[in-house]
């Protein structure tokens, strides 16, 4: 399998965190898809009609995208895996937590694009503020949920949340997301200590 990715993408990182957790990382070859929304890499365009990262190129089927689909596919390759329950409320809880982590990433990434790709005079501060308000809303929900949301197990949802927080540290170092969120901060310390997290740190 080949993963078209960028080491800076939190969505691509989530896929690789999951691959490491499932023991599948050595079966995946990473292919650079680094580019920008206005100039996506050729590999990105070739394997995803939306020209977005990541996509998974398989030998026995068409490419898969986006990260949520790829992660579910990877869990299907690992019998007995515990990252995604097969059915019931536990499954919906994990997928909802993944959606929350991915949503934080969505807002952070588009804000990063606004800063990096638009000339200063063309940026919309109100729009950026609205996106970062969504980030804060997601972070506050995670903090308020405490152990009921973050729990002790590590799931696909936790991988998404960990990568979202890592992206905030990577691209928004000036944002002190830990302030007033001791439970989330303590949980994140456990995430960064995982081998899957250290092996996929953004660059």
* CATH topology classification for 88-197: Glutathione S-transferase Yfyf (Class Pi); Chain A, domain 2 (1.20.1050)
- Run of H or E residues at 29: strand 29-32
Neighbours of 171 (CB within 10 A): 18
Radius of gyration of the chain (CA): 17
- Residue pLDDT tens, the chain, 203 long: 999 999 999 999 999 999 999 999 999 999 999 998 889 999 999 999 999 999 999 999 999 999 999 999 999 999 999 999 999 999 999 999 999 999 999 999 999 999 999 999 999 999 999 999 999 999 999 999 998 899 889 999 999 999 999 999 999 999 999 999 999 999 999 999 999 999 999 98
**Is the CATH number of domain 2-76 3.40.30.10?**
yes
* Exposure class string for 20-38: b at 16+ Cβ within 10 A, else e: bbbebbeebebbebbbeee
Same-fold call for 2-76 versus 88-197:
no
Sequence ranges of the domains in the chain: 2-76, 88-197
């Amino acid at each position: 399998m080949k993963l078209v990715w960028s080491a800076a993408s939190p969505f691509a990182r989530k896929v690789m965190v999951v691959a490491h957790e499932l023991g599948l990382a050595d079966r995946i070859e990473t292919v650079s898809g680094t580019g920008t929304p206005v100039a996506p890499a050729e590999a990105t365009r070739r394997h995803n009609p939306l020209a977005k990262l990541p996509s998974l190129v398989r030998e026995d089927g068409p490419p898969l995208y986006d990260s949520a689909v790829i992660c579910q596919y990877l869990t299907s390759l690992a019998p007995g895996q515990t990252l995604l329950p097969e059915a019931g409320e536990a499954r919906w809880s994990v997928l909802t937590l993944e959606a929350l982590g991915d949503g934080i990433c969505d807002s952070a990434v588009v804000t990063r694009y606004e800063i990096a790709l638009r000339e200063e005079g063309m940026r919309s501060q109100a729009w950026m503020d609205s996106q970062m308000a969504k980030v804060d809303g997601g972070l506050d929900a995670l903090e308020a949920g405490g152990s009921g949301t973050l729990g002790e197990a590590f799931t696909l949802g936790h991988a998404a949340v960990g990568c979202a927080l890592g992206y905030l540290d990577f691209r928004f170092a000036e944002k002190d997301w830990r302030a007033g969120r001791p439970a989330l901060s303590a949980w994140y310390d456990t995430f960064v200590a995982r081998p899957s997290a250290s092996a996929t740190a953004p660059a």
